[in-house]
Amino acid sequence: SFALTQPPSLSVSPGQTATITCSGDKLGDKYTCWYQQKPGQSPVLVIYEDNKRPSGIPERFSGSNSGNSATLTISGTQAMDEADYYCQAWDTNTVVFGGGTKLTVL
Amino acid sequence: QVQLQESGPGLVKPSQTLTLTCTVSGGSINSDIYYWNWIRQPAGKGLEWIGRIYISGSTNYNPSLKNRVTISVDTSKNQFSLKLSSVTDADTAVYYCARGVGTIENNCDVWGQGTLVTVSS
């Protein structure tokens, strides 16, 4: 069955660029979206259809998708970006989530 | 501003059926644009998609849960519901309802606050 793989954790310093990957077979042929989830809160959509930002999401969030990998990039990472991030794609009538990446900003 | 709110028992006994309802406010559930999803998250773990329903009644389910899941919609109440049968400890989780946009994209742009369901005798 189709699966999405993310690194469990990533640490960056404030102001640096955070790059979170999501891998899956021929993922570039599918649309990928990304969610941010802070402790005790519901997930928030930060990127949809590979590289589009919903209204209200800062420009420092961007996305790309090709080949077997999708990427969420946070430029100029801020302390408020510390959260879990999940990728999501659709395959064979099923929604699939990646396992999540815990982003630490320190 | 559309809002979603989950409701239902916070405690369910093993082998029983978990039933949750999501109430949509600030907008109509009767739209041909959206899919209505159920997603869960065990404590300290990742998100797991349970399934979704379209206003026509058409459903898609997670294959791993398909035999136990039923999602239905009640347009007169602007609600959709989840039934998960034969629950075990492994079904203990925070359950979210969410609005999805796009047939193959299913971008969940609006989420409920989540409700904790514990399976225990």
The pLDDT, as a whole number, for residue B52 is 97
Which residues in chain B are closer than 8 Å to A33, comparing Cβ atoms? 105, 107-108
Q: What is the pLDDT of residue B103?
A: 86
The greatest distance separating any two alpha carbons of chain A, rounded to the nearest whole angstrom, comes to 40
Q: What is the pLDDT of residue B24?
A: 98
Q: Position B52: which residue type?
A: R
List chain A residues with CB under 8 Å of B114.
42
Mean pLDDT for A32-40 is: 97
What is the pLDDT, as a whole number, of residue A101?
98
Q: Which regions of chain B are under pLDDT 50?
A: none
**Closest residue by Cα to residue A20 from A33, A31, A6:** A6
Amino acid identity, position B110 = V
Tell whether the model's pLDDT for residue A75 goes beyond 90: yes
Angle at B36 between CA B34 and CA B39, to 5 degrees: 135
Q: Determine whether the interchain pair A86/B113 forms a contact, defined as Cβ–Cβ distance below 8 Å.
A: no
| Residue with tokens 């300290």, as numbered in its chain | B44
Does A94 contact B60 at a Cβ distance shorter than 8 Å? yes
Res B72: pLDDT:
97
What's the number of CA atoms in the CB half-sphere (13 Å) around residue A86? 25
pLDDT band, very low/low/confident/very high, at A54 (cuts 50, 70, 90): very high
Q: Could you give the percent of chain A with pLDDT greater than 70?
A: 100
d(CA B57, CA B41): 25
Test the B interface: residue of A33, A42, A50, A87 with most B CBs within 10 Å: A42
Q: Quick one: pLDDT at residue B104?
A: 86
